[in-house]
Amino acid sequence: MAFDPSALDLYRDPQVFERERRSIFAKTWQFFTLASDFARAGDYVSDTLAGFSIVVVRDAQGLLHGFHNVCPHRAGPLVGEGKGRCDRELVCKVHDWRFSFDGRLTTAPGFEGVAGFDAGAQHLFPIQVGVWRGFVFVNLDLAAASLGDLMKPLEDRLPAPIERPARLQHAHPVDCNWKIYVENYLDGSGVMEEAGPNYVELARTLTIEGEVVLHQSDDGRRAGAQWAWVWPNLAFSLYRGVLLIEHMKPKSAEVTEVKHIFLHEPEDVGVDAAVVASEEVTEDNAWICERIQQNLAAGVFTASAGRAPYERAVIWFRERVVRSLG
Ligand code: FES
């Protein structure tokens, strides 16, 4: 059955969010963490993406393996959320089933000699892991096109390799649908920049290449500034020598967690000002997005009045969402 956006509230309905989980977030490359988090064999990172609990672990050869953090016995968790290290195996926290780092079941206590139990048929639920420029991504769809294809428009635009120290990894909870936050980011009406006690709007040029939306500063004084958004919910902002990764993670139909990682040159003296300015802009954006969510819930607004040229990326994004759900 074709998806009819007029029949469901795209920004509030839990049924739409459930559909997005399956049709968008289970099929697209999602930013996960930094490759530097996997320095040693057994290092792992676990996180929840649109309700899917994920774990990525490094083996003795340096390969990264990704799985749903879900035991095939009775759905127990293998690890808690966050970073950690395990010895030589992943061990389920419920009944201690043990799995090698490539996902094979090695030990199932209590199942020795159980008729019909085939340990060789048991395996963790695998996902794809990709690394690009020192960033680790995951994709729940084993048949999805490569991460490299998706990131091609950024190959010549972001510095390579990106090996800057990271700091200020934190998350902003925002009470709005994830698409409202994305649309606010993609709106081409202007980027605000700190200028003394005030903010000024930066002129910029918008282009869409593949599934990447690129904004470039038109102001010659800000040569090298880049804003890039990658379908469906990731943004890179390169400005004043600081690279900000902004992951707009949906938690539910009406809650988004915006995760920020700032990467910068160690000797960069402008980093503090850039980070402070960025966080203030995020606070303002969160305030706007939460008010939009509340106004949609109020039921007064029914449809937008038209399409201005600066809304080109927003329209592209909406059509891309509907196409994914159809
Ligand atoms: S749920 Fe994992 S061992 Fe039972």
Pocket of ligand 1 (CB under 6 A): 71, 73-74, 76, 92, 94-95, 97
pLDDT band for position 166 (cuts 50, 70, 90): low
pLDDT band for position 197 (cuts 50, 70, 90): very low
* Listed residue (193, 54, 190, 62) closest to 125, CA to CA: 54
Class of domain 30-143: mainly beta
C-alpha to C-alpha distance for 295 and 78, rounded to whole angstroms:
41
- The structural domains of the chain, with segments of one domain joined by +, span 30-143, 160-325
Model pLDDT, residue 125:
98
The atom number, within ligand 1, closest to the CA of 92 reads 2
Instruction: Kindly tell me if the per-residue pLDDT of 25 is higher than 90.
Output: yes
| CATH of the domain spanning 160-325, picked from 1.10.3720.10, 2.40.30.10, 3.90.380.10, 2.60.120.10 | 3.90.380.10
Q: Do domains 30-143 and 160-325 have the same CATH topology?
A: no
pLDDT band for position 100 (cuts 50, 70, 90): very high
pLDDT band for position 129 (cuts 50, 70, 90): very high
Output the CA torsion sign for 316, 318, 321, 325. negative
pTM here is 0.91
In the predicted model, what is the mean pLDDT of residues 138-157?
Answer: 95
The atom number, within ligand 1, closest to the CA of 71 reads 2
Q: What distance in angstroms lies between residue 125's CA and the mean position of ligand 1's atoms?
A: 14
In the predicted model, what is the mean pLDDT of residues 177-202?
Answer: 67
Model pLDDT, residue 1:
41
Structural contact between residues 67 and 58, judged by C-beta atoms closer than 8 angstroms: no
Q: Quote the strand ranges of 151-241, DSSP E.
A: 166-174, 191-195, 198-202, 204-209, 212-217, 226-230, 234-239
Q: What distance in angstroms lies between residue 97's CA and the mean position of ligand 1's atoms?
A: 6
Poorest-pLDDT segment among 90-94, 130-134, 179-183, 203-207: 203-207
Structural contact between residues 190 and 199, judged by C-beta atoms closer than 8 angstroms: no
79, 97, 99, best to mutate for ligand 1 pocket (most atoms within 8 Å of CB): 97
3-state secondary structure of 203: coil
The atom number, within ligand 1, closest to the CA of 97 reads 3
Of 195 and 231, the one with more pLDDT: 231
Q: What distance in angstroms lies between residue 72's CA and the mean position of ligand 1's atoms?
A: 7
